[in-house]
Amino acid sequence: MRPEKRPPVNLDAIGDPVAGEVTIKGVTHQVLQLDGAGYEYMDATAAALRDGTFDVVASYAQVARVLPSLTTDEVKALRPAQVAAVFKIAGGQIEEVEAMFPNAVGPAGTSSSESPPA
């Protein structure tokens, strides 16, 4: 007896390309999820960090892929910690970014021990 034929699973319905949002210089931008090429880059980066051949310029090119609304100059102006945060968000690790930078969510006080205003 053959199993009942089921309709195909619509992967487009679960493939929202937006991983999260970031605010840079007062403007909110959507961060796209890493795709296969992005994950290949991340794997290559891990190996490059181990063997000392890490290419910083290539990491900024990958940021431009997941933050397409930024200009080239805006991407180049990002600090290394911001680049790392973008990669984590694009990889679905937004909670890890929030834990790394507790004042990065919403308005913040002047020190990391202050709570944002209610």
Nearest to 19 by CA among 79, 81, 66: 66
28 pLDDT band (50/70/90 cuts)? Answer: very high
pLDDT at position 42 over 50? yes
The pLDDT of residue 112 is 34
pLDDT tens digits, residue range 76-107?
Answer: 999 988 998 999 999 988 888 888 777 766 54
102 vs 110, higher pLDDT: 102
Q: Residue 114 has what pLDDT?
A: 40
- Looking from the CA of 60 toward its CB, the CA atoms found within 13 Å total 14
**CB–CB of 88/96 below 8 Å?**
yes
pTM above 0.95, yes or no: no
Question: Which of 50, 49, 51 has its CA nearest to residue 59?
Answer: 49
- Measured CA to CA, the distance from residue 52 to residue 103 in angstroms comes to 32
Distance CA 19, CA 34 (A): 8
